[in-house]
Copies of this chain bind each other. A is one copy, B any other.
Amino acid sequence: MGDEMADENISDLIERYLKEILADNEQVKIRRSEIAGLFDVVPSQINYVINTRFTIQNGYIVESKRGGGGYIRIEKVRLLDDIDVLDSLIAAIGNKLSKRDSETIVQTLYNNDLINRREASIILAAIDKDAIDLNNSDLTDIMRANIMISILNRLRYEG
């Protein structure tokens, strides 16, 4: 723990390389194969590094495009100061989410000034029963949980 140099694997080196760029820039845009070549690893290891070290929990959002001129862009975002509410809501959701519980969550978000009325309305529309119905109430609850978690993760940061 004390010394920084020791015991760094290649994934750590790639992480450090990218974060050094991000220290001076709001974002970094890479070509996956270039970075893989630079560190002499297979391209999919770049995905591994991104998936384990550049998550939204760490304050990064990632977007990419395939095909000619494709890229991966990692962007730093400013996490909100108080995301305890979000963390506990996400933890409480688990695998499935009923309509009733989802309404409680939206109410909680509103009470904590994390969303306004209009945003609440959009979220409720997104998880509306008729919209996500799958003729299978279990699947509907799973879908509702997934969508809600995705939205809560989005609320972690500003902008």
List residues of chain A with CB under 8 Å of any chain B CB.
Answer: 1-3, 7-12, 21, 24-31, 67-69, 71, 117-119, 121-128, 130-134, 143, 146-147, 149-151, 153-155, 158-159
Contact = CB atoms under 8 A, between A and B. Distances in A.
Contacts of A11: 68
A28 B12 contact: no
A43 to B, nearest CB: 17
A69 B12 contact: yes
B149 A131 contact: yes
Given A122-B151, A146-B132, A3 B31 contact: no
A14 B31 CA distance: 21
A116 to B, nearest CB: 9
A36 to B, nearest CB: 15
B121 A122 contact: no
A118 B133 CA distance: 26
Which among A2, A127, A158 has the greatest number of chain B C-beta atoms within 10 A? A2
A154 B118 CA distance: 9
B123 A126 contact: yes
Contacts of A25: 1-3
